[in-house]
Amino acid sequence: MASKIIFGTAGIPHSSKGSDSVSGIERVRKLGLDAMELEFVRGVHMGEETARQVKIAAEKNNVLLRVHAPYFINLNSSDKKKLEASKKRILDSAKIGSIAGAKIVTFHPGFFQGGNKKTVLEKVISEIGSIIDEMKKQKCAIALAPETTGKPTQVGSLEETIAMCSALKELQPMVDFSHLHARENCRFKAERDFEIAIEEIPKKFLNDLQMHASGINFSEKGERNHLNMEEKGNSFNYKWLLEALKEKNVSGCIISESPNLEEDALLMKKYFEKI
């Protein structure tokens, strides 16, 4: 089967007439895009009734939905209150995301905080496992997807993310290629570097790989901030990424996290359709 990638925005497109998710979904469809990520990054502020309306709009417009859980998550916290709050944020995201008909909930797993990497990873996997158990009890019909992160102080290298997904069969990876580029101080210097990264991902995920992409600014310490793809200072080559995905016959969804959102989503879509 040929590579099929759909594209969307991280949140409501800037050109949407309304600032609500339903308006955003309708605008995504009018733009010719196919996906939108519900951004709960500052907290889960969507109620159940709104989520039901969002699901109706997504189904009507044939727009795939994903959820990004709050940033304030650390599954390696030694503070029990902070740990339980982190788990609750993921669970709340899953509950509302499930009602909205979203496909996955992605999240940043946590921080090493100077701990042994193997030990920290084992703790994070255990905590995610307990969240999955609770989701099953509450019948949340949505998958969790730990995201590759932009700084080496964060849990979330590609290897670590794959290890989480290997340990817990319910998980799938969220591969943010721009984060990997920043985390490893300009990892993708050629198209072949993207191919190598794709080869590290188990084949079972490549038929429906969930991804983020954007321009990105970084230092030797990792990610600083997102940039537009064609902005000065961006060294992340989206064309190489798309060519590698096509070459490796990968299908899935790329969400644009560039500041201009829909402009870069459309930029990537148009280029992918040409190659």
Asked whether residue 4 carries a pLDDT value surpassing 90, the answer given is: yes
Query: What's the pLDDT tens digit per position in 67-124?
Result: 999 999 999 999 999 999 999 999 999 999 999 999 999 999 999 999 999 999 999 9
pLDDT confidence of residue 2 = 86
DSSP per residue, the chain: ----EEEEEESS-TT-SSSSHHHHHHHHHHHT--EEEEE-TT-----HHHHHHHHHHHHHHT-EEEEE--S---TT-SSHHHHHHHHHHHHHHHHHHHHTT-SEEEE--EE-TT--HHHHHHHHHHHHHHHHHHHHHTT---EEEEBP-SSTTEE--HHHHHHHHHH-TT---EEEHHHHHHHTTS--SSHHHHHHHHHHS-GGGTTSEEEEE-EEEEETTEEEEEE-TTSTT----HHHHHHHHHHTT--EEEEE-STTTHHHHHHHHHHHHH-
Which domains, from first to last, does the chain contain?
5-274 (3.20.20.150)
Q: Is the pTM above the cut of 0.85? A: yes
The two three-digit tokens of residue 152, written as one number: 């080496």
Average pLDDT over residues 194-223: 98
- φ, ψ for residue 209, nearest 5 deg: -80, 130
pLDDT band at 58; cut points 50, 70, 90: very high
pLDDT band at 256; cut points 50, 70, 90: very high
* Average per-residue pLDDT for the chain: 98
Query: What's the pLDDT tens digit per position in 125-174?
Result: 999 999 999 999 999 999 999 999 999 999 999 999 999 999 999 999 99
For the chain, give the percent of residues with pLDDT over 90: 99
Asked whether residue 1 carries a pLDDT value surpassing 90, the answer given is: no
pLDDT confidence of residue 147 = 98
Query: What's the pLDDT tens digit per position in 83-94?
Result: 999 999 999 999
Asked whether residue 248 carries a pLDDT value surpassing 90, the answer given is: yes
Average pLDDT over residues 43-55: 98
The two three-digit tokens of residue 102, written as one number: 């979203």
